Amino acid sequence: MPDATRRPLARHGRLPRRRGWTTLASIVASALAVLLVSGTSVAAIAGAQLATAPKTVKLSTDDQSTAQTADITAIKGGANILLIGSDTRVGQFDSDEDVQGARNDVTMLIHISQDHQQLTAVSFPRDLMVPIPACSNPETGTTYPAAASAQFNTALGNGGVSCVVDTVENLTGLSIPYAGLITFDGVIEMSNALGGVDVCVAQPINDDYTGLHLTAGSHNLEGSDALAFLRTRHGVGDGSDLARISSQQVFLSALLRKVTADGTLSNPITLYKLAGAALSNMTLSDGLAQARTLVGLAGTLRGMSTANMLFVQYPVADDPADSARVIVDQDAAHTLNVALQNDQKTSLSDSSTGRASKEASGSSGTASSAPSAGASAGISTGTGSSTGSGTAAGSSGSSTGTGSTSGAATTQASPSSTPLPSSITGQSASEQTCSVGND
């Protein structure tokens, strides 16, 4: 991906007032709320919540068959789940786009390794130009022909959840038998259930579009403030959708650290609230809407170190045909795709944290001693267990700070880990980072 210090950056579209991608917190937290606990708790909570969950949706025949017959804890090559944040854009005051129907403005692929030692969450930019297969809209019956190049976030409107799954499968070469569609209300309920999420802000964020105004330092965000933080594009980095993704990773990493620490997972009342906030705002694929599947997922993630939970952005480059769009960075994408296909452990030791985030080097959670945005994240992941003080091996700075998890950040790279190209930005959930405002 082009270095932000070397050339102008594309600014990808205007930000509508209310976006389905704002449920990014509930996308990951939903997996945590009903997954990272004992099997008994998960069975009780998942069963109760699924009884009142929204309708389910069908995927393609092959994906449906896999989900019906496979044990999610033992799928060869690991388990893949696609989580989608939708956006209808109806009545949004600041949208200048002529669009109809839902858009998948957040799409995140979750890959859980077969040995349950690593989770990789891959975010796909909404403005990415990709091939989209022929799809039929399940609500209207309209059939859309295959497109050699179309904006990624049109897939949901073309053919629903199944069309988004098929598009990502074609892009990555993976089989994705599980999927969930999320609505925006979950983020408010989720953050409230947790009592807020502590995030670090490197420099002031001021965004009149979302109403978010934060000073530099540490902030506990819940409800509408958490929603605004996840929505803000004009307030962070270079104002692009790509900058927003890296800023969102700051929030999600802090959320994961909080969910896995401080007794959160041993409190049945909190767990029930978290599960309810997630599942009541989700439409699940048939295979995912099963108590046994959620219980199985609990087993795959129980005890996994946050240092082995990676957030990465699918590698892209500016589209030479349209400055408001991006295209696939083919070489870097190939490396990532092959690693996921082969269920290889990966490391991010040479990657930056993204366009709107930087690593925090002190324990205060503020940005006063943080290195520049392009500094190496220094997180190396693999099969090693976490042991201690919150410092990642090889890191250019300490990953401790507000919301950090004790005993979750020290890990050594596995000899078999695959280093991802430096153009792939991201971070581990154990890494303390700060969102960078654009003042």
CA distance 61 to 44: 30
Contact (Cβ atoms closer than 8 angstroms) between residue 179 and residue 285: yes
Q: With contact defined as beta carbons under 8 Å apart, do 278 and 30 qualify?
A: yes
CA dihedral 305, 168, 189, 94 (to 10 degrees): 130
Q: pLDDT digits over 224-237, tens only? A: 898 889 888 899 99
What pLDDT sits at residue 176? 97
Query: Which residue has better confidence, 4 or 162?
Result: 162
Q: Which pLDDT score is estimated for 262? A: 62
Q: What is the pLDDT of residue 297?
A: 79
Residue 254 has pLDDT above 50, yes or no: yes
Q: Quote the pTM value.
A: 0.77
When pLDDT is cut at 50, 70 and 90, the band that residue 190 belongs to is confident
State pLDDT tens for residues 2-15.
444 444 444 443 33
Read off the pLDDT of each residue in 160-168 and give the average, rounded to a whole number.
Answer: 96
What tokens were used for 4? 């932000």
pLDDT above 80 (res 215)? yes
Structural domains in the chain, sorted by start: 20-194+222-344 (3.40.630.190)
H/E/C letters for each residue in 262-327?
CCHHHCHHHHHHHHHHHHCCEEEECCCCCHHHHHHHHHHHCCCCHHHEEEEECCEEEECCEEEEEE
Q: Which residue has the higher pLDDT, 37 or 327?
A: 327
* Residue 56: predicted pLDDT: 86
Residue 410 is predicted with a pLDDT of: 34
CA dist 238 and 5 (Å) reads 11
Q: Beta-strand (E) ranges in 88-128?
A: 103-112, 119-124
Residue among 416, 411, 372, 405 at smallest CA distance from 198:
405
Q: What is the CA radius of gyration of the chain?
A: 20
Nearest alpha-carbon partner for 211 in 228, 236, 192, 231: 228
Chain mean pLDDT for the chain? 75
pLDDT tens-digit map of 352-399: 899 999 988 653 333 333 333 333 333 333 333 333 333 333 333 333
Share of the chain above pLDDT 70, in %: 69
Higher pLDDT, 29 or 63: 63
Residue 272 has pLDDT above 90, yes or no: no
- Per-residue pLDDT tens digits for 79-97: 999 998 875 443 332 333 4
For residue 223, what are its two tokens?
A: 């409800």
